[in-house]
Amino acid sequence: MELILKQDVENLGFKDDIVTVKNGYGRNFLIPQGQAIMATVSAKKVLAETLKQRAFKEKKIVDEANKVADTIKALEIKIASKVGSGDKLFGSVTNMDIADALQKEGHTVEKKYINILGGTVKRLGKYDAVIRLHRDVTVDINFEVIAESK
Protein backbone atom coordinates (compact mmCIF):
# COMPACT_ATOMS: atom_id res chain seq x y z
CA MET A 1 0.00 0.00 0.00
CA GLU A 2 1.44 3.37 -1.01
CA LEU A 3 0.84 6.30 1.32
CA ILE A 4 1.84 9.95 1.49
CA LEU A 5 2.96 10.92 5.00
CA LYS A 6 1.32 14.03 6.44
CA GLN A 7 3.87 14.26 9.29
CA ASP A 8 7.18 12.71 10.33
CA VAL A 9 6.79 9.09 11.44
CA GLU A 10 9.60 7.51 13.46
CA ASN A 11 11.49 4.78 11.55
CA LEU A 12 9.30 5.23 8.48
CA GLY A 13 9.82 8.61 6.84
CA PHE A 14 9.41 12.35 6.85
CA LYS A 15 6.47 14.58 5.99
CA ASP A 16 5.47 14.43 2.30
CA ASP A 17 7.41 11.20 1.63
CA ILE A 18 5.73 8.49 -0.40
CA VAL A 19 6.19 5.22 1.47
CA THR A 20 5.11 1.62 0.96
CA VAL A 21 3.71 -0.11 4.04
CA LYS A 22 1.71 -3.23 4.74
CA ASN A 23 -2.03 -2.85 4.24
CA GLY A 24 -2.97 -3.36 7.90
CA TYR A 25 -0.45 -0.79 9.18
CA GLY A 26 -1.67 1.81 6.73
CA ARG A 27 -5.40 1.15 7.00
CA ASN A 28 -5.58 0.52 10.75
CA PHE A 29 -3.00 2.93 12.15
CA LEU A 30 -1.50 5.57 9.85
CA ILE A 31 -4.64 6.75 8.06
CA PRO A 32 -6.97 6.81 11.14
CA GLN A 33 -4.31 8.63 13.19
CA GLY A 34 -4.12 11.30 10.48
CA GLN A 35 -0.45 10.57 9.80
CA ALA A 36 -0.90 9.56 6.16
CA ILE A 37 -3.24 9.63 3.17
CA MET A 38 -3.63 7.24 0.25
CA ALA A 39 -1.18 7.93 -2.60
CA THR A 40 -3.66 8.24 -5.44
CA VAL A 41 -2.68 9.71 -8.81
CA SER A 42 -4.30 13.06 -8.00
CA ALA A 43 -2.73 13.17 -4.53
CA LYS A 44 0.70 12.54 -6.08
CA LYS A 45 0.18 15.44 -8.54
CA VAL A 46 -0.80 17.79 -5.71
CA LEU A 47 2.23 16.64 -3.71
CA ALA A 48 4.59 17.23 -6.64
CA GLU A 49 3.28 20.78 -7.07
CA THR A 50 3.59 21.65 -3.39
CA LEU A 51 7.12 20.21 -3.24
CA LYS A 52 8.09 22.32 -6.25
CA GLN A 53 6.80 25.47 -4.57
CA ARG A 54 8.40 24.60 -1.26
CA ALA A 55 11.86 23.95 -2.74
CA PHE A 56 12.78 27.65 -2.72
CA LYS A 57 11.73 28.16 0.91
CA GLU A 58 13.42 24.91 1.90
CA LYS A 59 16.83 26.08 0.67
CA LYS A 60 16.82 29.03 3.07
CA ILE A 61 15.81 26.79 6.00
CA VAL A 62 18.58 24.29 5.18
CA ASP A 63 21.17 27.08 5.03
CA GLU A 64 20.09 28.33 8.47
CA ALA A 65 20.23 24.78 9.85
CA ASN A 66 23.77 24.39 8.51
CA LYS A 67 24.83 27.61 10.27
CA VAL A 68 23.33 26.35 13.55
CA ALA A 69 25.07 23.00 13.01
CA ASP A 70 28.45 24.73 12.69
CA THR A 71 27.94 26.68 15.92
CA ILE A 72 26.75 23.58 17.81
CA LYS A 73 29.72 21.58 16.53
CA ALA A 74 32.08 24.22 17.95
CA LEU A 75 30.53 24.01 21.44
CA GLU A 76 32.26 22.14 24.22
CA ILE A 77 29.46 20.55 26.22
CA LYS A 78 30.13 19.35 29.76
CA ILE A 79 27.32 17.84 31.80
CA ALA A 80 27.80 17.66 35.57
CA SER A 81 26.23 14.71 37.33
CA LYS A 82 26.29 13.16 40.79
CA VAL A 83 28.76 10.30 41.04
CA GLY A 84 28.78 7.23 43.26
CA SER A 85 31.64 4.82 43.86
CA GLY A 86 34.17 4.76 41.05
CA ASP A 87 32.85 6.55 37.99
CA LYS A 88 29.24 5.32 38.13
CA LEU A 89 26.52 7.97 38.00
CA PHE A 90 23.50 8.27 40.23
CA GLY A 91 20.86 7.94 37.54
CA SER A 92 21.91 8.57 33.95
CA VAL A 93 22.50 11.27 31.35
CA THR A 94 19.86 11.30 28.61
CA ASN A 95 18.98 13.32 25.53
CA MET A 96 16.97 15.62 27.82
CA ASP A 97 20.17 16.61 29.67
CA ILE A 98 21.89 17.39 26.37
CA ALA A 99 18.89 19.49 25.28
CA ASP A 100 19.14 21.43 28.57
CA ALA A 101 22.88 21.98 28.07
CA LEU A 102 22.27 23.27 24.54
CA GLN A 103 19.48 25.51 25.87
CA LYS A 104 21.97 27.11 28.29
CA GLU A 105 24.24 27.81 25.31
CA GLY A 106 21.37 29.48 23.45
CA HIS A 107 20.32 26.72 21.04
CA THR A 108 16.84 25.26 21.33
CA VAL A 109 16.67 21.65 20.15
CA GLU A 110 13.82 19.28 20.94
CA LYS A 111 14.96 16.21 22.86
CA LYS A 112 13.35 13.83 20.38
CA TYR A 113 15.83 14.99 17.72
CA ILE A 114 18.84 14.10 19.89
CA ASN A 115 20.17 10.55 19.74
CA ILE A 116 22.95 9.46 22.10
CA LEU A 117 25.06 6.79 20.46
CA GLY A 118 24.90 3.70 22.65
CA GLY A 119 21.78 4.77 24.57
CA THR A 120 21.79 6.44 27.98
CA VAL A 121 25.06 7.29 29.70
CA LYS A 122 25.74 5.76 33.13
CA ARG A 123 29.47 6.50 33.62
CA LEU A 124 31.81 9.48 33.52
CA GLY A 125 33.65 10.12 30.27
CA LYS A 126 33.35 11.41 26.73
CA TYR A 127 30.44 10.41 24.52
CA ASP A 128 28.95 11.16 21.10
CA ALA A 129 25.45 12.19 20.07
CA VAL A 130 23.69 12.97 16.80
CA ILE A 131 21.33 15.94 16.53
CA ARG A 132 18.88 16.24 13.65
CA LEU A 133 18.24 19.90 12.92
CA HIS A 134 16.42 19.32 9.62
CA ARG A 135 15.57 16.29 7.55
CA ASP A 136 18.74 16.93 5.51
CA VAL A 137 20.97 18.34 8.27
CA THR A 138 22.40 16.30 11.12
CA VAL A 139 25.33 17.20 13.34
CA ASP A 140 27.58 14.92 15.40
CA ILE A 141 28.56 16.39 18.75
CA ASN A 142 30.89 15.27 21.49
CA PHE A 143 30.02 15.84 25.13
CA GLU A 144 31.67 14.99 28.39
CA VAL A 145 30.06 13.82 31.60
CA ILE A 146 31.95 15.17 34.61
CA ALA A 147 31.57 14.75 38.35
CA GLU A 148 29.41 17.39 40.06
CA SER A 149 31.47 19.48 42.47
CA LYS A 150 30.21 19.32 46.03
Q: What residues does each domain of the chain span?
A: 2-62, 68-147
pLDDT at residue 85 in the model: 80
Answer yes or no: are the C-beta atoms of 135 and 66 closer than 8 Å: no
Q: Cα separations (Å) of 37 from 42, 49, 135?
A: 12, 16, 20
pLDDT for position 129: 92
pLDDT at 11 over 90: no
The predicted pLDDT at position 6 comes to: 93
Q: Where are the beta strands (DSSP E) in 25-75?
A: 36-38
Please provide residue 145's backbone torsions phi and psi, each rounded to the nearest 5 degrees: -100, 120
Residue 138 has pLDDT above 80, yes or no: yes
Mean of the per-residue pLDDT values of the chain: 89
Residues 60 and 67 sit within 8 Å (Cβ to Cβ):
no
Pick from 19-23, 53-57, 94-98, 130-134: least confident: 53-57
Q: Which fold has domain 68-147?
A: Ribosomal Protein L9; domain 2 (3.10.430)
- Sequence-distant (≥ 6) Cβ neighbours of residue 108 within 8 angstroms: 102
Topology classification of domain 2-62? Ribosomal Protein L9; domain 1 (3.40.5)
